[in-house]
Every structure is written in structure tokens, then in C-alpha cells.
Chain A
Amino acid sequence: GAVVSQHPSRVICKSGTSVKIECRSLDFQATTMFWYRQFPKQSLMLMATSNEGSKATYEQGVEKDKFLINHASLTLSTLTVTSAHPEDSSFYICSARDFGPGGYTFGSGTRLTVV
């Protein structure tokens, strides 16, 4: 079945630095990918929809200059958290639309801790 690989699984960074998270579709081409943020014991909140070759569509309240999304190829989307602060610490999850029976395939998530 469809597989989405997300890296890194865990990252710790200092306040003020930037962190890049990669999301790759391994065995299919993903024209659309989604980025979610999940706080402890809460649901997944969609941050943005990433379309290959075009600008991402951000959900209301998500700072596009802080959470940079690039979807330059049909198999790779990246999320860069710029000038990270402790409040950006969260679990970030990507998903790709695979057009298979399941429709969406999720990555394994990235635990970001900003110190």
C-alpha cells in the first residue's frame, strides 16, 4: 500500500532557529499533501494544504511566514518552522492524498521541542 515517510521523527532546537520537516511519498505521486499540528491529548488541526508546483493554502490563523511549506516535486513536501519558539513545540504530521481506497496516507509524525 501507499507509504508516506516523514523525517525527522524527533527534533530539539533552540529558540530562534529554524527546523525543516520532510514528508515523502515513497511509492506514489502525491499532487496534494496536508500538514497537521497536534497538541497533547488533542485532535489533529489542519495547518495547510500543499499542492505540487503552487503555493500552499493555509488555514485561518496559521502564519504563512512562520510555517513555510514547499512542495517542489510530486513526492516531497517540506514544512519549515522559522524562528521557532517554545510555543511551537508540538507533534507535526503530514498526509498525502493517494487516490487509493484509503484516500489519504499519513506520515509517522515529528515531535518538535523548542528549548
Chain B
Amino acid sequence: GENVEQHPSTLSVQEGDSAVIKCTYSDSASNYFPWYKQELGKGPQLIIDIRSNVGEKKDQRIAVTLNKTAKHFSLHITETQPEDSAVYFCAASEGFQKLVFGTGTRLLVSP
């Protein structure tokens, strides 16, 4: 089955800096790669996603890149703000079957 690894587990940045979180997946059949933000005591919220027929997608300060050959995908957050502090999860699925989540990255943005 699919296995998703995520790094780093924690990431501390200064406000205004960029943050990059990386994930690798094992199943070449996976074709949907979402990123979620989870705040304490709440469910995950989708922040951006990418499908396997696209290499990069951007939404304001957030971007995701996908390298299908290497089975890597990454989340890029620019101009970080304190409210970006949360736990971020990557995930992968094939054809909207079950999502397999990465281990999570705790992002702390200091003012």
C-alpha cells in the first residue's frame, strides 16, 4: 500500500521568511496530493492540492510542486505570518480512494 513520508517534523521560521515542507510517496498510482492545515483541536482544512498531470500550483502565498518521477511533492509558504503556525499534513490518494497522510510538520512562525 501507499506510504507517505514527511519532513521536517518541526519547522521554526521568522515572520516574513519562507517555509518548505517535503513529502515523498511510494505508490506510483497515486494521482492526487492535497495539503492540509490542522489547528489544535480541529479537523484538517485543505489549503492546496495538486493532481498528477500538473507540476506546480500556486494560490497567493502558497504553492505546491510535484515531481512524479522522483515521487516527491512539496509545500512552499512565502511571507509567513504568525497565523500560519499550525500542523501541516501532506497526503496522497489514487482516484479519490482513501487518503494516506504524512506524519505532519509543526510550523512555528515567530513574530
Contacts and interface: CB of A to CB of B under 8 A. Distances in A.
Nearest to A103: B96
A41 B45 CA distance: 17
A82 to B, nearest CB: 23
Contact of A42 (B42, B49, B104): B104
Interface in B46-99: 46, 49, 89, 93, 96, 98-99
Interface residues of B, number: 20
Given A43-B89, A43-B104, A44-B89, A104 B42 contact: no
Interface stretch (A12-20, A61-69, A70-78, A107-115): A107-115
A1 to B, nearest CB: 10
B96 to A, nearest CB: 5
Contact of A108 (B42, B99, B101, B102): B42
Contact of B45 (A42, A101, A106, A111): A106
- Please classify the interface of chain A as helix (H, G, I), strand (E, B), loop, or mixed, using the class held by over half of its residues: strand
Nearest to A36: B101
A81 interface: no
Interface residues of A, number: 23
Contact of B98 (A49, A93, A109): A49
A104 B103 contact: no
A25 interface: no
A95 B44 CA distance: 10
B41 interface: yes
B99 A93 contact: no
Interface string B1-20: 00000000000000000000
Of B34, B42, B45, B102, chain A has the most CB atoms within 10 Å of the CB of: B42
28 contacts: A6-B43, A34-B98, A41-B104, A42-B103, A42-B104, A43-B89, A43-B102, A43-B104, A45-B101, A46-B98, A46-B99, A91-B41, A95-B99, A97-B96, A101-B49, A102-B34, A102-B46, A103-B49, A104-B34, A104-B99, A106-B43, A106-B45, A107-B43, A108-B42, A108-B43, A109-B41, A109-B42, A109-B43
